[in-house]
């Protein structure tokens, strides 16, 4: 459980066509992406989103945090999601101008050709490895 800073509240996906985050739209987006979080509860207070529930995996938990944090108007996510079985945590990385997944892979794995690991770790939020944007936060799984 923790508080995650997303810093750039002007970056991110606009859900429901609004400028301000909405709990029901965030909850629906987590469901639409098929993330396994039972009893998901989402609350919005200004630019802070609180997510609660029981995730089937560490991956589902981390992706739910990213879905909530990569919404336009959100700068912080307070995560209160439990995981059925403990697993190693991923790192999070905020995309900078000029970044590519290859560049990020080189930074974290010392091998630009390992970018598919980062792309796969951020599916289904990412649809194309060439479509990342500054301010977006990505999940960087531990090196295999």
Q: Which domains does the chain have, with CATH numbers?
A: 2-83 (3.30.1340.30), 91-140 (3.10.350.10)
Is the pLDDT assigned to residue 93 strictly greater than 90? yes
pLDDT band of 8, cuts 50, 70, 90: low
Under 8 Å between Cβ of 134 and 99:
yes
Mean pLDDT across the chain: 90
pLDDT score of 9: 66
Over residues 114-119, the mean pLDDT reads: 97
CA distance readout (Å), 90 to 62, 66, 139: 8, 12, 6
- Count of Cβ atoms closer than 10 Å to residue 127 Cβ: 10
Q: What is the pTM of this model?
A: 0.83
pLDDT at 63: 94
Share above pLDDT 90 across residues of the chain, in percent, rounded to a whole number: 71
DSSP letter, residue 1: -
């Amino acid at each position: 459980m923790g508080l995650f800073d997303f810093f750039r509240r002007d970056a991110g996906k606009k859900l429901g066509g609004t400028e301000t985050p909405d709990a029901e739209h965030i909850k629906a987006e987590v469901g639409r992406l098929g993330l396994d979080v039972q009893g998901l509860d989402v609350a919005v207070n200004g630019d802070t989103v609180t997510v609660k529930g029981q995730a089937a995996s560490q991956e589902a938990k981390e992706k739910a945090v990213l879905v909530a944090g990569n919404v336009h108007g959100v700068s912080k996510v307070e995560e209160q999601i439990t995981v059925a079985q403990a697993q190693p945590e991923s790192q999070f990385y905020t995309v900078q101008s000029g970044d590519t997944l290859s560049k990020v892979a080189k930074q974290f794995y010392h091998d630009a050709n390992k970018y598919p690991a980062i792309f796969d770790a951020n599916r289904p939020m990412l649809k194309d490895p060439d479509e990342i944007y500054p301010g977006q936060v990505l999940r960087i799984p531990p090196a295999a």
